[in-house]
Amino acid sequence: MQGFRSVGGAPRFLVAFSGISPHVRPRRHLMAAAHYRAEMTVRFAVWDQITGATALPSAA
């Protein structure tokens, strides 16, 4: 319950996070460093497209 304001907050978060977690956490121990970096570049590009993060203004 640490960090959650209500009893239902933790289960709601975990349900949502369970679908996102494998996308941003590949099984790194099974791949070489170069392959891991390439895979993460692709995954973050997909994540930016899905969330629209590339359309956000930059804080300069």
Give 16-52 as a DSSP string. Answer: HHHHHHHHH---GGGS-HHHHHHHHHHHHHHHHHHHT
Is the pLDDT assigned to residue 20 strictly greater than 60? Answer: yes
pLDDT at 57: 59
Is the pLDDT assigned to residue 24 strictly greater than 60? Answer: yes
pLDDT at 59: 58
The Cα-based distances of 55 to 4, 48, 49, 59 in angstroms read 30, 9, 9, 12
Half-sphere exposure of 24 (CA within 13 A, CB side): 8
**Higher per-residue confidence, 14 vs 53:** 14
pLDDT band at residue 31 using 50, 70 and 90 as cut-offs: confident
Read off the pTM.
0.51
